[in-house]
């Protein structure tokens, strides 16, 4: 069994209105040094696989086909044995 941690983020070229709203709110609370806020998704899942390579393949396919919009988002992941 393997545990995957997947981070999905908007591509840098895509406007992030939610991130801008958080940045504006931070500034209104006095945190003027907060800059370039980007909001993403964090997903954890367990993969029942025979090897780390198989778990990586499954995690990558799930991320590409289900979790991330390939037009607007990038993803990265880490895998550890559970």
pTM, rounded to two decimals: 0.88
Q: d(Cα 71, Cα 62) in Å, to the nearest integer?
A: 16
What is the average pLDDT value for the chain, to the nearest integer? 97
Q: What is the pLDDT of residues 8-32, one digit of tens each?
A: 999 999 999 999 999 999 999 999 9
Confidence band, pLDDT 50/70/90 cuts, at residue 56: very high
Domains of the chain with bracketed CATH: 2-81 (3.30.1280.10)
Q: What is the DSSP letter of 74?
A: E
- Give the C-alpha distances (Å, rounded to integers) separating 24 from 28, 34, 38, 53, 59: 6, 9, 12, 42, 35
Residues in the chain: 82
Confidence band, pLDDT 50/70/90 cuts, at residue 52: very high
Specify the pLDDT at position 26. 98
Specify the pLDDT at position 1. 97
């Amino acid at each position: 069994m393997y545990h995957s941690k997947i981070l999905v983020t908007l591509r840098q070229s895509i406007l992030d209105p939610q991130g801008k709203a958080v940045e504006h709110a931070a500034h209104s609370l006095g945190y003027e040094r907060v800059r370039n806020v980007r909001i993403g998704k964090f997903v954890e899942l367990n993969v029942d696989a025979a090897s780390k390579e198989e778990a990586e393949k499954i995690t990558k396919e799930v991320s590409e086909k289900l979790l991330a919009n390939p037009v607007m988002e990038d993803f990265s992941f880490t895998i550890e044995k559970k």
